[in-house]
A and B are shown apart, each in its own frame.
Chain A
Amino acid sequence: MEKNDDKLNSPGYEIPSELQGQVAVTTLDRLYNWGRRSSVWPMMFGLACCAIEMIAAQAARYDMARFGMEVMRPSPRQSDLLLVSGTVTKKMLPIVVRLYNQMPEPKYVVAMGACASGGGPFKEGYNVVAGIDKFLPVDVYIPGCPPTPQALIHGMIKLQEKIDRQSIKKVRWYQEGADQVAIPEPILGPDLIDPRKLPQIKQVAKKG
């Protein structure tokens, strides 16, 4: 699963053959990532149909615990992963964004299923957000309606691979000012108001 030839994950130091039984040398990045990838705690938060497959993936037959992801936390303050499992509606979106803002770094977002990825079969609906990536930075998209538990686990493994490739030096949450970054919460007006688009809304509405 891990790419050992990757510069990030190899120390670039040869251990003499007589010491190989006693000493192991690794990089800080690899050790750090190994800890994080093996204990991704998803938020216990189901939106729609996909949430049921998420539960099924946690249950005995598929048993996501094998990958260290079975600890579902009901509080955003304790979770590492926001699994957007289902259709995000306009009415729900401010809450989803708030939950994301409340999660501590490092945090990841997985868009599970067609709806979370791009609106899915309900995209044309007046109360449906056409993909959570319009608001949150998505790390992994999982296709399917709903994705089977196997597909979900595959997506989670992809997330682990992504974690493997991150370097402490470059990650978002160790950059200056990272803790002040919050996604502006959408407002429920006559329709959903995205605070980042206020000038555009004003301008287009003026023209009518």
Chain B
Amino acid sequence: MTIPVSTETLDLAAKFPGIVTPDEREGYSGWIVKADELAAFAASLRDDLGYDFLSSVTGVDYLPEKKLEVVYHVYKTTGGPGLVFKVQLPRKKPEVPSLTPVYPGADFQEREAWDLLGIKFTGHPDLRRILMWEGFEGHPLRKDWKEPFYEEDIKPYSSRWPEGKHSYAEDRNPFNDNVQFPKQFDPEKWVPEGDAALYGALAEYRTTDEDGLDTDHIVVNMGPQHPSTHGVFRAVITLDGEDIVSMKPVMGYLHRNHEKIGERNTYLHNMPYTDRLDYFCSMTNNHGYALAVEKLTGIEVPERTEYIRVIMDELTRIQNHFILIGMLLNDLGAYFTPALYAFEERELILDIFEAVAGSRMMCNYFRFGGVARDVTPEILEKVSALAFDRLPRKADEFDRLLTENEILVSRCKGVGRLSSEDAIKYSMSGPSLRASGVPYDIRKADPYSIYDRFDFDVAVRYNGDTYDRYLIRLDEIRQSLRILQQAIRQIPEGPIQTGKSTYLTKTPAGESYGRIEAPKGELGYYLVSNGTGNPWRYHVRAPSFINITALESMVVGGKIADFVIVFGGIDVVLGEMDR
């Protein structure tokens, strides 16, 4: 597993002389691009070399070197390894041209980098804060920005050693709460910025009827407390009658500072935190993170563990897709009945998770170079009863009950259409990308773990509407069952952990990007290590977050009533979207 981060035998330095230089730092790979030439370079990368899929944009604050670095990962939707390139900026005035004209999928990711790291993307059409609110003081992921409950730079904190004394974080803060204010701040004179910038970002819309009467637009706020937004998501929608004219998503209502906390944590500390990203799929979250750390440290994974991981991943995918279908029907107005069917299957799968990991939802099961506990023969028997008998029957039952249901068909067919070009453009990944006719599945395109051993097909549908996004989930459940059945037949005996499992994993300095095909799309973890037991940078490329970039183009022109269905069909989880 000691493959360096996504490089190819491609001499970009010769192709772009004076613009691109190889990144020669120890443990790093990829290319460093001059900021001024970035847009032209990226356009050439996309058009001449075929790197059409922008996977991740993030920033790293190299405080000791007084530099900020923007890191881009691009891939080809035809498969193969990717390419990483970076732009280095002075910390004082970090400005870089926005890549949104070349890759519109960079939109939200650049806004996130602006919000959390203060990197200014010139030419970005709508550079507002995205996770925090307008008016918030500072850019939290900067290394010199300290949170109100700051104790020390890295864990384990000395105060939490067993012999140490315990004190409340509140008592150490001058305001006795999790807040901090700038010097001389007068709360009585504060004028909240509110949502002026947000409403300003909506498309101006005005119509005049034949009598010359101006008709104003209606702005509807859906969420953050709304039964069909799957959590605390908020959408601001401009309406003309019932037609959506403009839509802006607002997120961050569940921004739990995953990355800031993650950079204080040790590597192993972060494992249980990853559970809480996409809280439906803790096993796959664990897998992506374990993969990134294993790439960094070069730990090998034993054969049996690889099989256990695949089994857990596919079980996760199956339960996620069942729930998605149930919830989609819930959004359609079938209320809870299909969801009840879905939860029945989910409970059976959670029983297996509880048996192997000790917890139903937050499994915290993977370790670097292994898993926490072995799977007993009794549990495997239960899994095979599900994989060979119950779940295939239930997938057919869902198919029979729903696929030709008149209401489902008439409300989903042709709704929320996304063309394959747009899907790639907006960095859509996972089932929603494949429903738009792009057969891109990381398990096949850039195989990780042992997925290259299994015989399965990449599910693909071609209409790109909500109906296809429903169908593709059923297809994927069936393909996952195929993988599951093969894995159960082939799983060997053997150890489940390489070496001794330790609390403190030391990593060599360098960077790594581990990505997997999570049930919701491409889940990536970008890690930068400075050679200690704590990550210097810990970034999560969350599929729920990036898939929402395309939402506006999918709902504009449609009806307001269809908004929840399109949104539900993309499949998002707020824990992952806001992190």
Contact = CB atoms under 8 A, between A and B. Distances in A.
Contact of A191 (B170, B179, B256, B360): B179
Nearest to A73: B227
Contact of A60 (B140, B148, B183, B344): B344
Contact of B575 (A49, A130, A202): A49
A95 B224 contact: yes
B143 to A, nearest CB: 14
Given A60-B343, A148-B360, A204-B175, A191 B147 contact: no
B62 interface: no
A77 B104 CA distance: 41
B567 to A, nearest CB: 15
Given A89-B256, A92-B254, A126-B260, A49 B362 contact: yes
B362 A146 contact: yes
Given A60-B343, A128-B257, A190-B137, A47 B185 contact: no
Given A95-B225, A202-B187, A123 B279 contact: no
Contact of B231 (A46, A123, A194, A208): A46
A92 to B, nearest CB: 4
B253 A123 contact: no
Interface in B227-256: 227, 231-232, 252-256
B190 interface: yes
Interface string B215-230: 0000000001111000
Interface stretch (A23-31, A51-59, A167-175): A51-59
A206 B190 contact: no
A92 B176 CA distance: 20
B45 interface: no
B362 A122 contact: no
B405 interface: no
Contacts of A121: 272-273, 276
A187 interface: yes
Contacts of A48: 231-232, 254, 256, 276, 279, 574-575
Given A91-B132, A145-B362, A130 B279 contact: no
A61 B347 contact: yes
Interface in A168-208: 187-194, 197-198, 200-202, 204-208
Nearest to B186: A202
A194 B174 contact: no
B192 interface: yes
Nearest to A62: B347
Contacts of A58: 336
B574 to A, nearest CB: 7
B175 A122 contact: no
A59 B343 contact: yes
Given A59-B340, A95-B224, A204-B175, A128 B256 contact: yes
Contact of B276 (A49, A187, A200, A208): A49
Contacts of A128: 178, 256-257
A74 B336 CA distance: 14
A74 B226 contact: yes
Nearest to B231: A46
Contacts of A194: 177, 179
A191 B147 CA distance: 11
A124 interface: yes
B148 A99 contact: no
B133 A188 contact: yes
A71 to B, nearest CB: 12
A21 interface: no
Interface string A117-129: 0010111111111
Given A86-B254, A126-B140, A52 B190 contact: no
B164 interface: no
A14 to B, nearest CB: 47
A208 B361 contact: no
Contact of A126 (B176, B257, B347): B257
Interface residues of A, number: 57
A91 B149 contact: no
Given A49-B279, A89-B253, A202-B186, A60 B177 contact: no
B340 A60 contact: yes
B361 A87 contact: no
B534 to A, nearest CB: 14
B184 A205 contact: yes
Interface string A122-159: 11111111100010000000000110100000000000
B51 interface: no
Interface string A43-83: 01111110111011011110000000000001000000000
Contacts of B192: 187-189
A91 B133 CA distance: 7
A193 B190 contact: yes
A183 to B, nearest CB: 16
A124 B147 contact: yes
A127 to B, nearest CB: 5
B234 to A, nearest CB: 9
Interface string B101-141: 00000000000000000000000000000011101110010
Contact of A44 (B135, B137, B227, B347): B227
B256 A125 contact: yes
Interface string B266-285: 00000011001001100000
Contacts of B344: 59-61
B180 interface: yes
Interface string B322-356: 00000000000000100110011011000000000
Given A48-B574, A123-B169, A91 B253 contact: yes
A208 B264 CA distance: 26
Contacts of B176: 200
B17 interface: no
Contacts of B224: 92, 95
B435 to A, nearest CB: 24
B388 interface: no
A127 B361 contact: no
Contacts of A148: 360
A201 B187 contact: yes
Contacts of A188: 133, 135-136, 192
CB-CB nearest 5 A-B residue pairs? A125-B257, A190-B137, A59-B343, A49-B279, A208-B183
Given A124-B257, A192-B178, 9 more contacts: A58-B336, A74-B227, A89-B254, A126-B140, A127-B255, A189-B185, A191-B179, A200-B176, A208-B183
14 contacts: A47-B254, A48-B276, A59-B344, A74-B227, A86-B254, A122-B261, A123-B169, A124-B147, A126-B257, A127-B132, A188-B136, A188-B192, A190-B181, A193-B187
